[in-house]
Chain A
């Protein structure tokens, strides 16, 4: 019973390039959440998705960031034209069903470094 999987674990991009981060939720989980952890900071919520729907993107920067969770395949967090300030650890979490109160199972994170 695999946990939440994220890839790549480490990603290096130059300024202006695009970054694509992938998240496969636990089997049977249809709710995915993305969080960002800046250096020496706690995690900050970015977006909450269900299959083919964005439920809440209140934590997403207005520009350059987008997320999707298609009917088939992993959830993708996409960052266009990356800047140095995007360097952070990006965590994905999943939960089994609707409800804020379920335990969220976290993936190992993707560490993005922008040169």
Chain B
């Protein structure tokens, strides 16, 4: 079965804390892509990152970093020095080669609240 699990339903931190959002996926395919999207309170979906299954190199973009580990089927997302504007629901998603073209499989999301 192809599945994405975000075990953390809600996380609350104080501004400037670091926070890691977990994502664990299941797929039988060796070729797949993983994504993170942000959904702020306004409701739109904002693309954050795409990573293919052959590239395990970690990525950093400003305060955001992603840790992809095939051995544990995880693609975790860390926000360093969190800010109030980071408050949103974050979704991890998967597309696998053997699946429907374009069928993004989403986790249920993690709601992050950053308090001042």
Contacts and interface: CB of A to CB of B under 8 A. Distances in A.
Do A and B form a real pair? Answer: yes
Interface of A: 31, 33, 35, 40-45, 48, 55-56, 58-59, 89, 91, 93, 95, 98-101, 103-109, 111
B4 to A, nearest CB: 8
A59 B103 CA distance: 9
A31 B103 CA distance: 12
Nearest to A58: B100
Nearest 3 CB-CB pairs, A to B?
A: A42-B106, A106-B45, A48-B102
Classify chain B: how many residues form its interface, as a range: 20 to 34
Given A100-B99, A101-B50, A101-B95, A45 B43 contact: no
13 contacts: A41-B108, A43-B106, A44-B106, A48-B102, A55-B101, A56-B100, A56-B101, A91-B45, A100-B103, A101-B50, A103-B35, A108-B42, A111-B43
Nearest to B45: A106
Interface of B: 4, 6, 33, 35, 37, 42-45, 47, 50, 52, 91, 93, 95-97, 99-109
A91 B99 CA distance: 20
A111 to B, nearest CB: 7
Contacts of B91: 42-43
Given A100-B97, A101-B50, A43 B104 contact: yes
Most buried by A among B6, B42, B100, B108: B100
A111 B91 CA distance: 19
B47 A103 contact: yes
Most buried by A among B37, B44, B91: B44
A8 B106 CA distance: 24
A106 B37 contact: yes
Nearest to A3: B44
A89 B44 CA distance: 10
B33 A100 contact: yes
A43 B90 CA distance: 12
Given A56-B102, A101-B33, 11 more contacts: A33-B102, A40-B108, A45-B100, A48-B100, A93-B45, A100-B102, A104-B102, A106-B44, A107-B44, A108-B43, A108-B44
